Amino acid sequence: MSYNLLKGKRGIITGALDENSIAWKVAEKAHEEGATFVLTNAPIAMRMGEINALAEKTNSVIIPADATSIEDLTHLFTESQEVLGGKIDFVLHSIGMSVNIRKKIPYAESNYEYFHKGIDVSALSFHKMLAVAKKLDAINEWGSVVALTYMAAQRVFPFYTDMADIKSMLESIARSFGYQYGLDKKVRINTISQSPTKTTAGTGIKGFGDFFDYADAIAPLGNASAEDCANYCVSLFSDFTRMVTMQNLFHDGGYSNTGVSDAILKKLGL
Ligand SMILES: NC(=O)c1ccc[n+]([C@@H]2O[C@H](COP(=O)([O-])OP(=O)(O)OC[C@H]3O[C@@H](n4cnc5c(N)ncnc54)[C@H](O)[C@@H]3O)[C@@H](O)[C@H]2O)c1
């Protein structure tokens, strides 16, 4: 069912790699809710070509951009305003990549070149995106920017290795930039801390399947799906959340506030 929550709003959605991507679901939902938007991803991800189907389905234009490149981001924000016919109302940052995780390198043995790459792609890209948008004055007043994060920023999940530190930085950027952009232009910036979700980035993590089931058994509502996350993103892009900014918002079926669950105790035979 559609509520036209984003009718007349213009957006930029990063990170839709395939139909499992959280960003893919966000694009489908935003389209359903009346938004027009540009889809973007790293040029290398474009080669897989799956994003074309999403663009067709949502009547969107694709503008490739490596989120670590100021030049690409400047082109993205300039062209997007051109294509969409005005300033941007919402932006989704749905970008994450750790070479240390990919290569299954234990946290204490992190390769620092890979660590730097992870920081640049997954956290600094958010700062760069916001800095470029602010410089170009590309986002409308009361616009909304959302980035996706994970609870390993607050608590230890050993398999998340360097991404835990990187997500802490991402969440901090949301607060720091949220203050600046809020004061200057009333632009809101938040992070959504999402449940484990079966996507390319998610399932690349060692032991992800077991952990997915564990989290599902702890959370009283179970894990939040990518579709649920898309709904939450849409609500944050809408005018119904105008005074929400600089927050890290847990979207995890109650996992973050549950110590232990009956289901887990039962599994342990207690
Ligand atoms: N899947 C989970 O369990 C989970 C849980 C919490 C948060 N998240 C976060 O959600 C976000 C989206 O991930 P996903 O799970 O949908 O996986 P995904 O693999 O579908 O999406 C990650 C995206 O990042 C893009 N990307 C990588 N490097 C880039 C670059 N240099 N420039 C532009 N784009 C680049 C990839 O092409 C891909 O589209 C990430 O920030 C991730 O950390 C995921």
Best residue for ligand 1 mutational test, from 21, 26, 128 (most atoms within 8 Å of Cβ)? 21
Q: What is the CATH number of the domain that holds 71?
A: 3.40.50.720
Residue 157 lies in a domain: yes
- Name which residue sits closest to atom 21 of ligand 1, judged by CA: 15
- Name which residue sits closest to atom 20 of ligand 1, judged by CA: 21
What is the spatial distance between Cα 171 and Cα 153, in angstroms, rounded to a whole number?
8
In the three-class reduction of DSSP (H, G, I as helix; E, B as strand; rest coil), residue 165 is classed as: helix
| Closest atom of ligand 1 to CA, residue 17 | 39
265 CA distance to ligand 1 centroid (A)?
33
CB neighbours of 126 closer than 8 A, spacing ≥ 6? 93, 95, 147, 170, 173, 174, 177
Residue 216 lies in a domain: no
Tokens coding 100: 């240390």
What is the spatial distance between Cα 244 and Cα 255, in angstroms, rounded to a whole number?
22
Residue 14 lies in a domain: yes
Residue 263 lies in a domain: no
Average pLDDT, the chain: 96
% the chain with pLDDT above 90: 91
pLDDT in tens, 78-124: 999 999 999 999 999 999 999 999 999 999 999 999 999 999 999 99
For the residues 218-225, what does the mean pLDDT come to? 98
| Closest atom of ligand 1 to CA, residue 16 | 39
**Residue 128: is its pLDDT beyond 90?**
yes
Residue 43 lies in a domain: yes
Residue 102 lies in a domain: yes
**Residue 201: is its pLDDT beyond 90?**
no
Q: Is the dihedral of CA 243, 168, 172, 69 positive or negative?
A: negative
Q: How many domains does the chain have?
A: 1
- Name which residue sits closest to atom 26 of ligand 1, judged by CA: 95
pTM: 0.98
E-assigned strand segments in 72-160 = 88-93, 139-149
245 CA distance to ligand 1 centroid (A)?
22
Residue 268 lies in a domain: no
Residue 5 lies in a domain: no
Cβ(202)–Cβ(208) below 8 Å: yes
**Residue 7: is its pLDDT beyond 90?**
yes
- Name which residue sits closest to atom 40 of ligand 1, judged by CA: 96
Q: How sure is the predictor about 206, in pLDDT bands with cuts at 50, 70 and 90?
A: confident
Residue 144's domain comprises 10-206+224-258
Q: Distances in Å between the alpha carbon of 157 and those of 111, 139, 153, 198?
A: 19, 35, 9, 17
